[in-house]
Amino acid sequence: MNVREVPVTNAANLAFFMVNVSQALIHNVQKDDPHFGIQDLKAYFRGSKYVNETLKLLPQKPDQILIQQIFTQITKIGSINSG
């Protein structure tokens, strides 16, 4: 547990930074999808991790167009507000 001043300050600053980054990312998407929220952002990045790890297992890399279609479908699986 952090009880000294510097580690507590660093943890608070990191938390504020993470909130600012997530809000900036959400703001970029909300131009096209106004209902996009934090749960959708989390689902997007979780899905992108799954797609990247799955693509590493394939013996041959598929076409870029197919990768983009897979990426679009998989990243929407856990989203709540975006269709």
Angstrom distance (rounded) from CA 83 to CA 77: 9
- Over residues 47-67, the pLDDT tens digits come to 999 999 999 999 999 999 999
**pLDDT of 2:** 63
Average pLDDT over residues 1-30: 91
Is the pLDDT reported for residue 45 higher than 70?
yes
Q: What is the pLDDT of residue 77?
A: 85
Report the distance separating Cα 60 and Cα 9, nearest Å: 47
Give the Cα-Cα-Cα angle 15, 52, 48 (nearest 5 degrees): 45
Mean pLDDT score across all residues of the chain: 90
pLDDT over 90 at 81, yes or no: no
